[in-house]
Amino acid sequence: MRKILFVFILFTLPFSMISNVKAASYASDTLRGKAVTSGDGLYADKYNEGRYVYKGGNPNNFIKFNNELWRIISVEKDGTLKIIKNDSLNNKLQFNDKNDNGTYCSNWYNGGCNAWGKSEYFDGGFVNFVTENHPVNGTVTDDSIINKYLNNDYYNNISNSAKCEIVPKNYYFGRVINNNSDTIVDIINEEKTQVWNGNIGLPNVSDLLLASSDENKCGTINNINVNKSCYYINPDGERVWCAPVGIPDDWKQYADNTCSSFNYLMVPGVYEYGSDKNDNYLFINAGSVGNVYEANGSGISGIGEVRDNSRIYNVANNEKKFRPVTYLRSDMEITKGDGSENNPYEFKCDECDGTNNNSKNESNQVVDVPSTSMFISVFIIGGFILIAIICIVIYLKVFKKDINK
């Protein structure tokens, strides 16, 4: 009887231990498990099955990356995480200052060029930027200033472990019609007309629209800008609403936007026209009237305009603030944090921790590398199964001896 009890314990112990072994849980799975259907948080993207996006005025999507505070824009279908730096970089840059950068950029008049990258990045050369009376097309021979800065100087100065955690992905930088009522689906399709693959980019206009928890009120460019409040402050400190005429030149003009209450990617607070204190930031998409898009406290606007039928006047060569966007690899694991600003998520990647690898991953495909913890789990479970088999053999031998007796 004692032998049988001993064998029973040996037989059941490995399986009880197996039940306590947990496989590695990737960040994408952990975050998807926190998805919501109301309020601030992570939502299933109804325009892209399998993708999830953060929405609301202040969702818990803060992460620590490169020892800096960033925010998660989306959990992609392939498990990668699209993230954006929480604050604009300290330095300002021109989007692009060249007018001799190919036949497309030669259409611009002393204002730089709004093309993010070379024509070789997409089929058929540069697509038409059609305005009411000025279609523009042609080739682009060089990347924009901000593109080259982000993927050279900026990228080369982040930590080696952060480089390892970044995965090259497709960025869609097709032109988006300025100040219109196009749906999010229309804008996504417009963006996807031009594709660039690299390490670091800028946010899309669709990222801003998808981040709103109130799409009915703030889900189009027009709707966002309709919710702008424009006013002046007179010498007595009183607020005077904007008017087309009759405002003295020395009155300061301000604006705010109620859509920022529903959208963490909108610039909060009061926007002061002409002030360097505003935390504006640029988008990767250009507008069809020759604009580079900018988010500010008043809403989202295209910078530049068509002034005549022969040349486009743009201000892509004006220095502006910007917030980098990148993608993190799909085998990251969350180690601590709840996603709040004071307790951001922290990640680990067994392959990247302490790495001195400076090389870029040139592949356009995301490669999932199983983490060390997964290998350990498989090894332990395999060992327990082997022990269980040994226990069964012992049990059969004991049982046979008892029968023989």
Summarised one tens digit per residue, pLDDT across range 392-402 is 666 566 555 55
Q: Is the pLDDT of residue 191 over 60?
A: yes
Q: Report which DSSP code applies to 121.
A: G
CA distances from 10 to 17, 18, 87, 402 (A): 11, 13, 58, 18
Tell me what pLDDT residue 63 has: 97
**289 closest CA partner among 124, 125, 179:** 179
Contact criterion met (CB below 8 Å) for 102 and 117: no
Contact criterion met (CB below 8 Å) for 345 and 337: yes
Contact criterion met (CB below 8 Å) for 81 and 154: no
Lowest mean pLDDT among 31-45, 155-169, 209-223, 266-280: 266-280
**187 closest CA partner among 284, 256, 116, 114:** 284
Q: What is the per-residue pLDDT across 84-106, written as a single tens digit (0 to 9) for each?
A: 999 888 888 878 877 777 777 77
Q: What is the per-residue pLDDT across 355-387, written as a single tens digit (0 to 9) for each?
A: 554 433 433 333 343 444 444 444 555 656 766
- How is residue 372 written in tokens? 């060390």
Euclidean distance between CA atoms 61 and 72, whole angstroms = 5
When pLDDT is cut at 50, 70 and 90, the band that residue 213 belongs to is very high
CA gyration radius, the chain: 28
Euclidean distance between CA atoms 58 and 263, whole angstroms = 7
Strand positions, DSSP E, 235-339: 239-241, 252-257, 271-272, 281-286, 292-296, 299-306, 312-314, 319-320, 325-328, 333-336
Euclidean distance between CA atoms 379 and 150, whole angstroms = 42
Contact criterion met (CB below 8 Å) for 91 and 288: no
Residue 207 in 3-state DSSP? helix
When pLDDT is cut at 50, 70 and 90, the band that residue 156 belongs to is very high
